[in-house]
Structure 1
Amino acid sequence: MEMSKLEKMQYLITTLDGAALDTIRSLEPTEGNYSKALDLLKGRFDNKLLIFQAHIKAIFGLQGVEVGISGGLRKLSDQVNAHLRALQTLATTEEIYNGLLIHLVTSKLDLHTHEKWEENLSAQKLPTWLEMSTFLEKRCRMAENLENAMVNQTPSKQEAKRFHLCLN
């Protein structure tokens, strides 16, 4: 037997908590609001990039295995495979490789550069290594240009002395 939209809405309200419940709390439990509730939840939580990154971070954060403890090895294997299966539902093998490499590189960036990288990412599209490489090249070029401009603007000691003598 199929549940009505009203029953689905009531079930949804009873199963949610925290931020998810807050997202739809203002909607009355009516048949017409079920679709609205789903749209609100998708808009708030359907973030492919965030979910993808969470699995990548979890893989990098897994605990190492101690020598001679087979249970630890089994746990590590199970956890890695669980995250990989989840990633495979979100992305192609190439996108997963890109994600692993991008995570590794972004973990090495300074906070400002990392923020600039994240600033233009889409929540629904996974970034490619080409995009990361292009971003890094652009940032390097900008930093080098700024550094060069600052060096050229800094007066030499002789110029500073001449300027100082002219003022006196």
Structure 2
Amino acid sequence: MSEQQLIRKRGSLKSSLTSFSKFVELKKAEQALGDTDVIQLQDRLSRIENVYEQFNEIQNEIEAVIDETKLDEQYTERLNFEESFFKITAVAKSILTKYEPKHDDNASVHSNMSAMSISNSMGVKLPVISLPKFQGSYEGWLEYRETFESLVHYNKALNPIQRYHYLRASLEGSAALVIKSVEFTAAGYAVAWQALCDRYNNTKLLVHNHIKAIFSLDNIQKESSAKIRKLLDDLSKHLRSIEQLKQDIQNWDPLLIYIIASKLDSKTLGEWEKYSVDIETPTLNDIKTFLTRSLGTQEPVPPALKRAAVK
């Protein structure tokens, strides 16, 4: 994706935050919210948290390709977005607090339509955990399934219709279509969840897609700490998923090293070849260690630290 395309995509995400801010301010001005307003605010809050994650990914890519003279401007863009995001989400959460159902001190779970916070037996409330969104990508199924099962499916504090609410709220795209025709009833939840598992619990296809994703990792055209970090993170994510599918990857190191090396820019590749010249049989950990160390020499220094260093 080109720099201009990334900036346009970022603009769309900023527009989403602006729309959310207007909606929250509108609801803040109302003396009381109806049930549908509360549910809509909860759902919008969940979605804007996903926008925040997308913004960070896009901003990382922009900072990786932007001219170094414009980095200060990009750091300001990030700071402004984060300040607006945390300010307006705090307002939204404050509004929703007024409509939270009361629980006794022994309640283990407090839940709403878009997020869940877990309380221990002492009544201490831990941070909110947002439910994952699943759009039908086989690469994301395992992570989604395990998170949803731990927070919702096996949560004894929720009844079937509440679980179905969470399920519907967490599905998007082709995944949502799988359960579209299942009636929204307590009995329908088990049918909907089974239909989803039947569609995506395909070990052969899941393994195939994760291996395909590893071979399709982005090529790095020029030295970039952000892209190297993303390469390592994506690789680790797919390998973990393959292991979860009971596949033995113990002897994959030579193949994985070849794939990683083929994705590196020429400068980093040359440094890896020098680094590994005396290693008779390099392992996956060797190249990961090398790349992790190289990140420290490539990281841009934030403007605030530059100024502090000058002082």
TM-score, normalised relative to structure 2: 0.28
* Structure of greater relative contact order (alpha carbons < 8 Å, 6+ residues apart): 1
| Larger relative strand fraction | 2
More helix by share: 1
Highest CA radius of gyration, 1 or 2?
1
TM-score by structure 1 length?
A: 0.49
